[in-house]
Amino acid sequence: MRSLSSSWRPLLLPAAVLFAGSWTAVASAGESAQAQSEPAPPALAFGQSVDGVSDEDLPYIYTEWENYTVEDGLPNDHLFSVRATAEAVWIGTENGLARLDKKTGAIQSWKEEDGLPWRAITSIDVDPKTGDVWLGLFGGGVARFSGGRFDHFHQLNSGLVNDVVYGVAVENNHIWAATTAGASRYDLVTGKWDIYTEKNAPMEEIWNYSVSYAPTVNKVFLAIWGSGCLEFDVATEKWKDYIDPDKEMEIDLYRDDGIIHVITTAASFADGALWVSAYFGCCRYDGRHWRGFYAHETGLPSDFTNFLKARSADEAWFCTDKGVGVVAHYPTDTYVAYYRNADNPGGVAKVFRRGRLLREVPLEISIAHNFIIGVDFDGDDVWVATAHGLSHGIGKGYYRGVKRLTQEPQSIAAASSASADSK
């Protein structure tokens, strides 16, 4: 893989461009010291405890990364989405679609001249029954890639409510599209389209930013710009809304009273917990209790979160504008933040518990860029879509939760040694 420069700034970012601030993510030593002098974090939430937990109880840290850019075959370095399957990794970019064969490492790409209906791909999902690849197109509607052919759905030939699509999701025999003018649901069997807006769903605003399907509970979750998070029960076709109870736009007036803000960017459900991201932090709901996550009290890179994905009820990955943030183990309030250096392909992983820095692990190769837009899990591995390339975190020896470490893990020791040798 090629080493990457961090000097690029994107020409186009769905919605996030409205709020994107500084692209320099790694804090200086002085800033780190200042962060550690902040007031003590709030009381632990329900289900959290640090009793019997020592500083040697650490989460898994991804120390082996590889990156892909246009030099490796991507059609564009400006990534918007990534989706991993058993055989391949699908990548949506600002100018084309790519497929990375996991067995051979070969990358195949498609642009408009190759039949791709639209250049910018904001979202990808794969039908587990057919293998069809569904694409959300930023201004071009929705596309299906099946048998080497693209089928194009847009406002003029379908029931799609709007052509600016931010998210797609496969739900049983249906396809959902999150658009700037509501959500559309396409029945693959009957060909029927359903449209959901403020007229028939609890949407105070209709800018749908993300959609995901949770098969374990047979529910669809929509993240909506200005309407919080909506839950659609597939069996009953009933809606449930999650909005900020204090109705304050500038601050979260009452901590953990509900979703942290009505401007949300993604929602992901796993093992009974709903995780929701916003441009003002992230939160988790276990069905009874909410918990908010903020950078100043956790060690996460930033509150400005473009996307998130849950791995379990205890682990979720946040795509922020200043690095990758991970709630590595919710029960012990443990976090990991991944950064890339400004002047070389290396970086650092920082481990925090209750906002206190426990460990800094230097990385010889880190994530491709600190502006993170998408993430997907692939067994023990993780794939990250950044503003300047695709990053692959190799989860050799991955474990869930935290472990008591009697000696430095081989992966961390190797990373530290490699970093020292490069100086």
Instruction: Tell me, yes or no, whether 56 lies in a domain.
Output: yes
Q: Which pTM does this prediction carry? A: 0.88
pLDDT in the model for residue 329: 98
* Number of independent structural domains in the chain: 1
Instruction: Tell me, yes or no, whether 122 lies in a domain.
Output: yes
**DSSP letters for 225-248:** ETTEEEEEETTTTEEEEE--TT--
Instruction: Tell me, yes or no, whether 314 lies in a domain.
Output: yes
pLDDT in the model for residue 413: 52
The position carrying tokens 């403020």 is 198
CATH number, domain containing residue 382: 2.130.10.10
Instruction: Tell me, yes or no, whether 36 lies in a domain.
Output: no
| Domain residue limits at 212 | 52-422
**Is the pLDDT score of 406 beyond 80?**
no
- For residue 95 the two structure tokens come to 């100018």
Band (pLDDT 50/70/90 cuts) for residue 407 is low
Q: Which of 91, 74, 73 is nearest to 82 (CA)?
A: 91
47 or 392, higher pLDDT: 392
Q: What is the pLDDT of residues 227-286, one digit of tens each?
A: 999 999 999 999 999 998 876 666 667 788 899 999 999 999 999 999 999 999 999 999
pLDDT in the model for residue 408: 64
29 or 148, higher pLDDT: 148
Q: What is the pLDDT of residues 2-21, one digit of tens each?
A: 333 333 333 334 444 333 33
**Residues 337 and 357 sit within 8 Å (Cβ to Cβ):** no
Instruction: Tell me, yes or no, whether 29 lies in a domain.
Output: no
Q: Strand order of the sheet with strand 219-225? A: 207-214, 219-225, 228-233, 238-242
- For residue 241 the two structure tokens come to 């809304």
Q: What is the pLDDT of residues 186-197, one digit of tens each?
A: 999 999 999 999
Instruction: Tell me, yes or no, whether 22 lies in a domain.
Output: no
pLDDT in the model for residue 245: 82
**Residues 262 and 269 sit within 8 Å (Cβ to Cβ):** no
**Residue 342: which region, alpha, beta or left (left: phi > 0; alpha: psi -120 to 50)?**
alpha
146 or 413, higher pLDDT: 146
**Is the pLDDT score of 24 beyond 60?**
no
- For residue 173 the two structure tokens come to 């025999």
Q: What is the pLDDT of residues 68-103, one digit of tens each?
A: 999 999 999 999 999 999 999 999 999 999 999 999
pLDDT in the model for residue 33: 39
**Alpha helices (H) in 263-343, listed in sequence order:** 295-298
* CA-to-CA dists, residue 10 to 16, 95, 127, angstroms: 11, 12, 30
Instruction: Tell me, yes or no, whether 5 lies in a domain.
Output: no
